[in-house]
Structure 1
Amino acid sequence: MQPFEYTANPGRVVFGSGSIKKLPDEIKRLNKSKPLLLSTPQQEEQVRALEPILKDASITPAGLFSEATMHTPTHITDKALAYTKECGADCVVSFGGGSTIGLGKAISIQTGLEHVCIPTTYAGSEMTPILGETAEGKKTTRSDPKILPGTVIYDVDFTMTLPEALSATSGVNAIAHAVEALYARANNPIMTLFALEGTKALAEALPIIVNHPHDTDARSKAQYGAWLCAMCLGSVGMALHHKLCHTLGGSFNLPHAETHTIVLPHAIAYNAPKIPEVMKQLAGLLPGSDGDAIKGLNVLLAKLKVKRGLQEFGMKEEDVDKAAEIAVSNPYWNPREIEKGPLRETIRRCWAGEDAKADL
């Protein structure tokens, strides 16, 4: 066995249907009493449902900030920070997906406030010490153990109304975390176990959810898988897939989960020649792969009925060259050397919505 290093990220997880009722106990466990509630505009009504749960336990929210948006733009964070100070909050409760949790992280790292997450998607940001922020059209990321939320409440009840399309893309986003962990430079046997189990759970659950969105068992399995996949993202470095998604999302304002969904099979195809063992492991987890992981990913995305082309989300063909330039301008580790020609063709295929092929 190869030598490795493993650092367990601290964090408390409360998992199960109805676990939202434990939110007051978790806030009291932190010796806090004035939480700031965070959400996107679309989830403001849902997050307000937390107020009576808190008030029944003699906890009055300091306020509600419902302007979280994708890619965590710094001007929104600045506005939220001013509101946090104004209302006198002593902790932050983020309710939603990656956009809201990202805002919670930004507030927490800048103020030192405790951060409790209630994820309603499968994106996984709640399990990572990573913060991605956008300023002037450019997205940058940083990692710091202090960014990691202290407590996460996984209540499947809040995922039951997640639209089928968003369930699919959010779940594939989670799979992307696990797949890249399998060949990450800092991989270790523990992360491999998490990655394989998480990918398997999601690959089984997501097709059921798309066709039977109120299947509680499938929803619970997907949330479990997303948690494990997110643990991978928070513990080992990522490579081409995530770097490319950050470039595309931050530079062209493309939706986060949908971009990850489109890019994943193409990024794996690009790296395939250098990760044969990972390709075997992945193929074994994907129904319909016939021993070919790339085929398995293409089959999975077809089952999930997701959009396959970045052009469907507003990216223009002339943006392909710009994206390639940005992606190669900031060198980073990847199992296969980043070559501009093949990378440009990879991005073009993502733009066009073609099936992935390992022929570059």
Structure 2
Amino acid sequence: MDFLHEWLPQRVRFDTGRATAALAEEAASAAIARPMVIATPRGAALARTLTAGLDVAVLHDDVREHVPADVAERARTVAGEHDVDGLICVGGGSATGLAKAVALTTGLPILAVPTTYAGSEATDIWGLTTDGVKRTGVDPQVLPKAVIYDAALTVGLPVGLSTSSGLNALAHAVDALWAPRADPINAVLATEAVRSLAAALPAVAATPDSLPARADAFYGTYLASTAFASAGSGLHHKICHVLGGRYDLPHAATHAVVLPHVLALNAPHAPDAERRLAEAFGAPSASAGLRALYDELDPPRTLRELGLSEAQAVEAAAAVLSVVPESNPAPADLEVLETLLRSAWAGS
């Protein structure tokens, strides 16, 4: 029981149906008077509605997955040109990631209003992609000062995107059980996250307009992301970062495809994690529980359907090998990684 656990300082509001009012309150609390609002073109209308009562300096919608470095630099330039004093990101991980990229060099505070289950809003982890390589780092400046979870904002998210996004959140929890700084507190958070998400995601798929189900999904997302932020990035996320940075694969779907394969590799070598996950799924084993959940949700199952070639999948193994965490419970040499990525490509 000797360990060091670090808890991130952040205000977290679960405020279904009150995002606009809650955002105004948090902006006042953080003394943000001229925010830069960041959202994708698709999410810009919602962002305008949520911030209608604020003196918005600029709404910036030049947002891309994996935060390419040139996109980040353009956003930083816009922030400087409009003399903003804070950032408000509305949307999924791409919008949050871009806000973090701006905060990383400017120190501007972030208020996050998630509309997916990406979970980036609850971490101090940033990511930038340059020449096909996605780099990540940790910096307290990029942790949003406040997060507003309003389940009503996710009702319009299509079922397929809801479930793949939720499986991305689930991957945060699973990875936290064997990541470099895994500890007993992270394990408790991760286990409860898996239990919540395993129940919430099928309910969201069955009844997409269910606010309680979507609120439970946000609850699981927050717990999983908090555990992940503390424990660090495990093998699953290292693989997904390589695939996303090199081949620009869709972020959430890539996580959904890769997760069962990393779990199958690691669970036999991590008996405590295996026991926790099996109990959280209510299944005889962790892999059986995940398979049952996937059968209910029917997410993407192969890298092939995401547009990756088999040669690219095998090629990625060498890049993953250089970043395999020492804490990974199973041996992961080049042959193992090539086998894993071939399996993820084929869905075997």
TM-score band by shorter chain is: over 0.9
The yes-or-no answer on 1:230 pairing with 2:225 is yes
Q: Secondary structure at the match of 1:49?
A: helix
Q: Secondary structure at the match of 2:257?
A: helix
Q: Secondary structure at the match of 2:281?
A: coil
Aligned residue identity for 1:183: W
Which one of the candidate residues 64, 67, 78 is aligned to 1:69?
Answer: 64
Aligned residue identity for 2:45: E
- TM-score, normalisation: structure 1: 0.93
Q: Does the CA contact (< 8 Å) of 1:19 and 1:153 recur in 2?
A: no
Report the alpha carbon displacement of residue 257 of structure 1 after superposing the two structures with TM: 0.6
Report the alpha carbon displacement of residue 282 of structure 1 after superposing the two structures with TM: 0.6
**Which residue in 2 is equivalent to 1:320?**
313
CA distance in structure 2 between the aligned counterparts of 1:340 and 1:187, rounded to whole angstroms: 24
Q: Does the CA contact (< 8 Å) of 2:125 and 2:136 recur in 1?
A: yes
The yes-or-no answer on 1:352 pairing with 2:337 is no
Q: Taking structure 1 as reference, are residues 51 and 320 closer, same or farther at Cα in structure 2, changes over 3 Å only?
A: closer
**Which residue in 2 is equivalent to 1:189?**
184
CA distance in structure 2 between the aligned counterparts of 1:90 and 1:342, rounded to whole angstroms: 48
Q: Secondary structure at the match of 1:267?
A: helix
Q: Does the CA contact (< 8 Å) of 1:101 and 1:126 recur in 2?
A: yes
**Which residue in 2 is equivalent to 1:261?**
256
Q: Secondary structure at the match of 2:310?
A: coil
Report the alpha carbon displacement of residue 183 of structure 1 after superposing the two structures with TM: 2.2
Q: Secondary structure at the match of 2:205?
A: helix
Q: Secondary structure at the match of 1:284?
A: helix
Report the alpha carbon displacement of residue 311 of structure 1 after superposing the two structures with TM: 0.8
Q: Secondary structure at the match of 1:209?
A: helix
Q: Secondary structure at the match of 2:238?
A: helix
Which one of the candidate residues 69, 88, 94 is aligned to 2:89?
Answer: 94
**Which residue in 2 is equivalent to 1:286?**
281
The yes-or-no answer on 1:22 pairing with 2:22 is yes
CA distance in structure 1 between the aligned counterparts of 2:281 and 2:188, rounded to whole angstroms: 16
CA distance in structure 2 between the aligned counterparts of 1:301 and 1:262, rounded to whole angstroms: 10
Q: Does the CA contact (< 8 Å) of 2:238 and 2:324 recur in 1?
A: no
CA distance in structure 2 between the aligned counterparts of 1:64 and 1:155, rounded to whole angstroms: 21
CA distance in structure 2 between the aligned counterparts of 1:252 and 1:11, rounded to whole angstroms: 33
Aligned residue identity for 1:113: L
Q: Deviations over 1:234-293 (max 9, x none)?
A: 111221111011111111111111011111110011112310221121111214x3x121
Matches within 5 A, 1:56-135: 59-135=54-130
Aligned residue identity for 1:254: L
Q: Secondary structure at the match of 1:42?
A: coil
CA distance in structure 2 between the aligned counterparts of 1:68 and 1:322, rounded to whole angstroms: 28
- TM-score, normalisation: structure 2: 0.97
Q: Does the CA contact (< 8 Å) of 2:11 and 2:146 recur in 1?
A: yes
| Gap runs ≥5 in structure 2 | none
Matches within 5 A, 1:301-312: 301-312=294-305
**Which residue in 1 is equivalent to 2:322?**
329
Q: Does the CA contact (< 8 Å) of 2:177 and 2:190 recur in 1?
A: yes
Aligned residue identity for 2:267: A
Q: Does the CA contact (< 8 Å) of 1:19 and 1:154 recur in 2?
A: no
CA distance in structure 2 between the aligned counterparts of 1:303 and 1:243, rounded to whole angstroms: 27
Report the alpha carbon displacement of residue 150 of structure 1 after superposing the two structures with TM: 0.9
Which one of the candidate residues 128, 131, 137 is aligned to 1:142?
Answer: 137
Q: Deviations over 1:47-93 (max 9, x none)?
A: 111232x2xxxx31001001111001111111111111111211000
Which one of the candidate residues 136, 145, 151 is aligned to 2:146?
Answer: 151
Q: Deviations over 1:281-337 (max 9, x none)?
A: 1111214x3x12112111211210111011111101111221111111335322223
Q: Does the CA contact (< 8 Å) of 2:176 and 2:187 recur in 1?
A: yes
Percent identity for Structure 1 against Structure 2: 39
The yes-or-no answer on 1:219 pairing with 2:218 is no
Q: Taking structure 1 as reference, are residues 331 and 198 closer, same or farther at Cα in structure 2, changes over 3 Å only?
A: closer
Aligned residue identity for 1:299: A
**Which residue in 1 is equivalent to 2:44?**
44
Q: Secondary structure at the match of 2:237?
A: helix
Which one of the candidate residues 193, 202, 207 is aligned to 2:197?
Answer: 202
Which one of the candidate residues 226, 237, 247 is aligned to 1:242?
Answer: 237
Q: Secondary structure at the match of 1:285?
A: helix
Q: Taking structure 1 as reference, are residues 185 and 80 closer, same or farther at Cα in structure 2, changes over 3 Å only?
A: closer
CA RMSD of aligned residues (A): 1.2
Deviates more, 1:182-191 or 1:312-321: 182-191
Aligned residue identity for 1:274: H
CA distance in structure 2 between the aligned counterparts of 1:299 and 1:348, rounded to whole angstroms: 22
Deviates more, 1:328-337 or 1:165-174: 328-337
Aligned residue identity for 1:234: A
Q: Secondary structure at the match of 1:187?
A: coil
Q: Deviations over 1:144-197 (max 9, x none)?
A: 122211111111111111110111011111111111112233222221221111
CA distance in structure 2 between the aligned counterparts of 1:205 and 1:13, rounded to whole angstroms: 20
Aligned residue identity for 1:35: P
Q: Does the CA contact (< 8 Å) of 1:92 and 1:104 recur in 2?
A: yes
**Which residue in 2 is equivalent to 1:7?**
6
Report the alpha carbon displacement of residue 231 of structure 1 after superposing the two structures with TM: 0.5
CA distance in structure 1 between the aligned counterparts of 2:164 and 2:281, rounded to whole angstroms: 16
Length, aligned pairs only: 346
